[in-house]
């Protein structure tokens, strides 16, 4: 077993992984900030969720070979992408992300979804990087309370019913172009951005092809690597344009079933 997989199995996360060069990252940072400032008006659902369906350059970030290599060490060679969720925290913003498990969003069997979180800007405690609670993935699914906290970036302000001590947590400090991996049962959250610059990251949700959805409105996938012998999910189309009508229609198709539950599917 690789060192990465051993560490991930024991702790529920791994970091840092060098995945992208500065040119690509800087270009993506500029484009994402422009979209954040004036989102296209013809998108019916939050553009930052399932954003891998909206533009070829966002999809390209999700299939960065070095990131897929790391994901492959954890879940094997046949890799689906369910979503790429973009988290932008503006300068001096109040928004934070409550402690939660991603497994709270999706009914899956087995719970083997792994998130590859790509830093598009440097991230640290000052600008609201994530923190992980190591080994918390060894618990099963834990109840969450929907707080509807206005300063939460989660659609329903979901918060895990688990007491978390600061001394037990790990700050996910990354340089731009690096990524971390976390298990969908790992408790994690992030604080506000106290700096004068935006903090940007993309959370890409990867699953092995053998996983099945057990409840909630149907989620759909793109095959990022390998072969899909199981065909457990409906497939989405890889975008070929940049927020063009075809990509927006595909985003609409994948997002619509989740609108009634505020894009949280459990
Ligand atoms: O970007 C953040 O601060 C939080 C992201 C997150 O909660 C996730 O990737 O599941």
pLDDT at 133: 97
Question: Does the pLDDT of residue 25 top 60, yes or no?
Answer: yes
Q: Whose CA is nearest to atom 7 of ligand 1?
A: 189
Distance 203 CA to ligand 1 centre (A): 6
Which residues neighbour 89 within 8 Å (Cβ) at sequence distance 6 or greater? 95, 127, 128, 153, 190, 192, 193, 198, 199, 200
pLDDT digits (tens, 9 = 90+) for 109-149: 999 999 999 999 999 999 999 999 999 999 888 888 888 88
Among residues 169, 171, 176, the alpha carbon closest in space to that of 201 is found at 176
Alpha-carbon torsion 2, 135, 218, 147, what sign?
A: negative
At 157-191, the pLDDT tens digits run 888 988 999 999 999 999 999 999 999 999 999 99
What would the mean pLDDT of 236-252 be, rounded to a whole number?
Answer: 96
CA–CA separation, 196 and 161 (whole Å): 33
Domain at 3-258, CATH from 1.10.3720.10, 2.40.70.10, 2.60.40.10, 2.60.120.620: 2.60.120.620
By most ligand atoms within 8 Å of CB, the mutation choice from 125, 203, 204 for ligand 1 is 203
Whole-model pTM? 0.96
Q: Whose CA is nearest to atom 8 of ligand 1?
A: 203
What pLDDT, on the 0 to 100 scale, is given for residue 256?
Answer: 94
Let me know: does 257 contact 217? Beta carbons within 8 Å.
yes
Q: What atom of ligand 1 comes closest to residue 96's alpha carbon?
A: 3
Helix (H, G, I), strand (E, B), or coil: what is residue 79? strand
Of 32, 87, 121, 191, the residue with max ligand 1 atoms within 8 A of its CB, to mutate for a pocket test, comes to: 87
* Domain locations in the chain as residue ranges: 3-258
Contact 170, 134 (CB under 8 A): yes
């Amino acid at each position: 077993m690789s060192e990465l997989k051993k560490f991930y199995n024991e702790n529920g996360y791994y970091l840092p992984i060098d995945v992208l060069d500065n040119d690509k990252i800087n270009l993506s940072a500029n484009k994402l900030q422009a979209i954040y400032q004036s989102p296209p008006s013809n998108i019916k659902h939050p553009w930052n969720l399932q954003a891998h369906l909206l533009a070829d350059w966002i999809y390209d970030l999700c299939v960065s070979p070095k990131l897929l290599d790391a994901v492959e060490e954890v879940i094997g060679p046949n890799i689906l992408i369910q979503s790429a969720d973009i988290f932008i925290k503006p300068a001096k913003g109040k928004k934070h992300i409550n402690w939660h498990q991603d497994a709270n969003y999706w009914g899956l069997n087995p719970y083997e979804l792994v998130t590859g979180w790509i830093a598009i800007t440097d991230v640290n405690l000052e600008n609201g990087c994530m923190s992980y609670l190591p080994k918390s993935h060894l618990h099963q699914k834990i109840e969450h309370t929907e707080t509807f906290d206005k300063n939460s970036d989660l659609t329903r302000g979901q918060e895990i019913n688990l007491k978390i001590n600061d001394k037990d947590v790990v700050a996910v400090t990354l340089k731009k172009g690096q990524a971390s991996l976390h298990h969908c049962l790992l408790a994690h959250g992030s604080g506000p951005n106290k700096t004068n610059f935006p903090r940007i990251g993309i959370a890409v949700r990867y699953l092995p092809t053998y996983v099945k959805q057990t409840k909630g409105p149907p989620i759909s996938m793109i095959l990022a690597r390998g072969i899909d012998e199981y065909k457990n999910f409906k497939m989405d189309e890889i975008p070929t344009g940049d927020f063009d009508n075809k990509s927006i229609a595909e985003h609409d198709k994948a997002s619509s079933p989740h609108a009634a539950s505020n894009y949280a599917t459990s």
